[in-house]
Amino acid sequence: MSELDSKIKKILQNEGFYNDALYLADYDSFEEIPLFSRWKSVSFLKKKSFDENNKLLISHAVKLVEHALKVSLINAGKEAHEDFFCCVTLTKWDNVDEINCITPNIYITRRRKWLFSYINLKKTFSKEETLALKYIHELGLYNYDVYISGESDDIRRVYIINDIYSQIISPNDDVV
């Protein structure tokens, strides 16, 4: 394990991501939890390239999502697991110059059906989506895809979603 991986794992431990109860909590609607709560925690990333930092953080975020899916499958009942949803979101695009990375979050809900009736996932091939897609392909995460939500032309939340959820996204990328 590299020194950077060790530092990221320490941050994730301090943020509580290795506590399985985090993934099973009954949130009112959804929870979006940043991988780091303070920019100071990732100040060591200023020495690396923007792309390297983002791939490192996204790879750790995806591992957490995969762990959350397993935790839900093993510990939640069948009905609860079927309504569970977890993905990586990328936010804070306007702060990338300050912290030299995008902020990955773990986005969790136990109310997937409600969530997908509320958010409008789509593909617009924005620069943010294109960059996220580049990262997941370079990381070999071919079972993930990239979407955004929102109607405005402002910078939107980018979702990195496991293909297991593809049955809920129609061919025109609107949620069924």
For residue 169, pLDDT over 80 is answered with no
DSSP 46-92: GGS-HHHHHHHHHHHHHHHHHHHHHHHHHHS-HHHHHT-EEEEEEE-
Q: Quick one: pLDDT at residue 94? A: 85
Distance of alpha carbon 24 from alpha carbon 84, whole angstroms: 9
Domain ranges of the chain: 3-168
Q: Quick one: pLDDT at residue 1? A: 63
Q: Quick one: pLDDT at residue 153? A: 53
Higher-scoring residue by pLDDT: 174, 148: 148
Distance of alpha carbon 6 from alpha carbon 10, whole angstroms: 6
Distance of alpha carbon 106 from alpha carbon 60, whole angstroms: 10
At 96-148, the pLDDT tens digits run 888 899 999 999 988 888 888 888 888 888 899 999 999 999 999 999 999 99
Tokens of 67: 């762990």
At 35-93, the pLDDT tens digits run 988 888 888 888 899 999 999 999 999 999 999 988 888 787 787 788 889 999 998 88
pTM across the whole model: 0.88
